[in-house]
Chain A
Amino acid sequence: MPQHIVIIGNGISGITCARNVRKQSNDDITVISSETEHFYSRTALMYIYMGHMKYEHTKPYEDWFWQKNRIQLVKDYVTSINVNGKNVLLQNGASINYDKLVIATGSVSNKPNFTGINLIGVQSLYGMPDIELMNENTRGIEKGVIVGGGLIGIEMAEMLLSRNIHVTFLVRENFYWDNILPKEEATLVSNHIKEHHVDLRTATELKEIKGARKVKSIITNEGEEIACEFVGITVGVSPNISIIKNTEIEADKGVLVNEFFETNIPDIYAIGDCVQHRNPPPGRKAIEQIWYTGRIQGETLAATLCSKKTAYNPGPFFNSAKFFDIEYQTYGKVNPQQGENETSFYWEHKNGRICFRAVYRKDNEAIIGFNALGTRLRHAVCDKWLQEKRKIDDVMSNLDQLNFDPEFCDHYEKEILSAYNKQTMKNIKGKKRRKLSLFNW
């Protein structure tokens, strides 16, 4: 007898789970979601606003895909979950029974309690409705302020610049994102932000938003008033747990799950942004709101749902972003401040737009993390070396294997290695680099 698996949320985690269940079983699958009819890539929202793509380009599967794979899509909002009757109630009044329920409701933007937060022109960015609102709010304006120096903040800054809107960027930290990035990287990115003529105000917080109906200006914690017609609030996101608040499903900041993504109620699971792990895997956060994590969790839960009970076992952490023109990749563990038994090697190109960091243990010199800005690293190699706990010297002499930069790019392996040798007073030799790949046979 096929069971009926109901998934709330058609984001990356819910959809990955649905697809992988379909690959492994004949179960009935229903995905209920209210934001859009089809799965689209949330990470591409900025490009819709900037006019690089339209909504339809951001859909990773063609519309016929769902029917062909017998994944039933319901565009509606789940208002409540009836844990005892094993059904969910939709806003249109219908109810849907489930054998297994997956909560993949994602996040909501944090909305701090500033005076003026509800004025027209003040908004955050999480979903498609926000893009439409931002279109309205920024039509024909000249000045915007972004509050909060995270990844969505810098995306919003780039979005505004694409429409020739001047941006003042308020960041509480001393450098952009220095609560995640070590100081050197944070400085590099901060400089690049300024290169794009963004008025970056570090160590500055928002105190108040002023205006009658529409926003007119903001006041910083230093008392300065900055005129603006738009305020982007990007002070983080929180798990979206509104529909489980009044149920017996346990939640703290997010829906609480064990390593099998089981909630405290049998047959109810949760994955993705909305999740808070009771026992996160070693070195990982209890709440990890990133795309890749949602995908990996969706894959893992699908196995469990298809009676191959599988614990969450992510490999080394990785993430990526793009700060205007500078790509960022990170693998393993790179803390903003080095831990007790950690040390790191950092190299920066003299143009101030490219850097590389390798973090390793002091005692056994095993590699524990990489950061790269403006240069690309090969994921497969990073993953392998991190799992093998390669020695830093070995890493440094094989940098060419790590590199993923495009053909004809300048290569910096030699420079990086000699900087490493100088810094550590070693004399490591690089393994010979392959010839330019376009010309070798």
Chain B
Amino acid sequence: MVPPTTTNPSLSLTEEGNEQTLYQKIGGICIAIAVLSLVAAISGVGGAYSFLLLTIIIGMFTLGVVSYALPYYKGPAGIRNNGIMFKTMTNRGTIAWIFAIVLTGFYIIIYWFPWMFEGLIRIFDPLSRLLTNQPANQWFMYGAFYTLAVLTMGIRFIGKNRNSRYHVIRTFSVMFFQLGFAFLLPMFLKKLNEPEFYFSYFWPLKFSYLFPSDVSSLINSGSLGVFMVFWGAVMTFIATPILTYKYGKRWYCSWVCGCGGLAETAGDPYRHLSDKSLKAWKIERWMVHSVLVLITVITILLWLNSYYKGGILGSVSGPFAQWYGFFIGGVFSGVIGVGFYPIMGSRVWCRFGCPMAAILGIFQRFKSRFRITTNGGQCISCGNCSTFCEMGIDVRSYAQKGQNIVRASCVGCGICASVCPRGVLKLENGKEEGRINDKPITIGNNHITVNL
């Protein structure tokens, strides 16, 4: 006889911890040294030893993350999400909250009180001089940390997912684009006294690239500037629809984009924290499309205004654009988008705020070859796919009905497919017809006719 149970399973299973391995201890020490050096630098003692301090910070941070990642490289390759729901760092525990507050604080200081980081910024001078011929500012420091995070956590991610070649290749891709196109190349351009241009960002994510002010200043800067304007326009209006038609949104969101790159690497330990509820999905659709409408309207107004030489709005549209830059470009994408990783998951910005994701999503939903195919009736409704979908898509709700997953927000990270213990999901670019199969199909039950 099965006795009735009165316990609440969700409460009783939360405190199992995994022991720390030797590697993790070493990693912890390295990161502690890096953090201490960071604090020392902020306090201003770095001036005389900036090179040494910088080396220690970067070196120890890299060593630390790599040694945390080493266990993933040892032993058979496979899915190892053991203990994620128990650890305080990944389960919204105390340490996660502290980390979130520190990260958020970091963003707030960078955006609004950069002078507080003066000491830290100064130790980046040697690197900045080398790359740009100029002393560092807070954005150089930020870019350097950002790139470091993508590279080191990318190494971790590759180790963790080395059973899937898709993950390995796309992670190299985001590491490459972050390092090359979002850090070294723009810095190098600066060194050559050319505009600091990011070839891997386009309107509407990098909204100002199609603002009249940016366009005119780029054009005035010389022939390279003209090419940059051309590049930006081609990417936004021609390449984006074509690539999204062929490969889905993923070509950008989980292969190229820096925001996506950070989410896929540094944000990976937090991907399961995204909200999967229907309510969250509703909010998401309202928000992300509102942002898209907003930036489109702003851009059009700016152009009209510049065409009529300020005749329509006078000086109103300028502040409007600044206001957008402040709240959406700054507060949303940085403070909330990254600062809240440990609490709300790694793709909050991409899901709720990014206008680029909104456009790509509209293409992906209505005109694309990309889909996630469900393998017939093989789903066991276990929930791994939904749990680890960083975009909060309830993948299981489709898979268990035998339906393909065609959702505007899916960034094609492929994690759902690789955590599925039954190999039910497959990211594919295929024929458009039959891509969306709304009827629940139940292969394996012949009393219900199945259309193949």
**A: which residues have CB within 8 A of B?**
12, 34-36, 41, 43-44, 47-62, 76-77, 91, 105, 108, 127-129, 131-132, 135, 139, 162-164, 192, 195-196, 240, 242-243, 291-292, 295-296, 299-300, 303, 310-316, 318, 320, 322, 324-325, 327, 329, 376, 378-380, 383-384, 404-409, 437-438, 440-441
Contacts and interface: CB of A to CB of B under 8 A. Distances in A.
Interface string B420-438: 0111001111100000000
A376 B423 contact: yes
A59 B381 CA distance: 8
Contact of B444 (A49, A132, A318): A318
Nearest to A381: B452
B13 A12 contact: no
B384 A53 contact: yes
A316 B378 CA distance: 13
Interface string B11-34: 011101011000000000000000
A129 B418 contact: no
B446 A52 contact: no
A43 B16 contact: no
A54 B14 contact: yes
Contacts of B79: 325
Interface string B109-131: 00000000000000000000000
A53 B85 CA distance: 6
A303 B446 CA distance: 13
Given A53-B85, A60-B400, A327 B447 contact: no
Given A62-B278, A296-B442, 14 more contacts: A34-B2, A41-B382, A44-B384, A51-B85, A53-B387, A57-B386, A60-B383, A129-B5, A291-B380, A295-B377, A300-B447, A320-B422, A327-B421, A327-B423
A12 B380 CA distance: 9
A310 B426 contact: no
A163 B82 CA distance: 8
A192 B427 CA distance: 27
Nearest to A43: B380
Interface of B: 1-5, 7, 9-10, 12-14, 16, 18-19, 75-79, 81-87, 163-166, 169, 246-247, 277-278, 373, 375-378, 380-384, 386-387, 396-397, 400, 414, 417-419, 421-423, 426-430, 442-448, 450, 452
Nearest to B8: A55
Best-surrounded residue of A60, A61, A139, A314 (most CB of chain B within 10 A): A60
Contact of A36 (B9, B169, B377): B9
12 contacts: A43-B380, A128-B9, A132-B13, A164-B19, A296-B444, A310-B447, A312-B447, A314-B445, A315-B443, A380-B450, A407-B426, A440-B429
Given A43-B380, A163-B16, A329-B423, A129 B428 contact: no
A59 B18 CA distance: 25
A131 B13 contact: yes
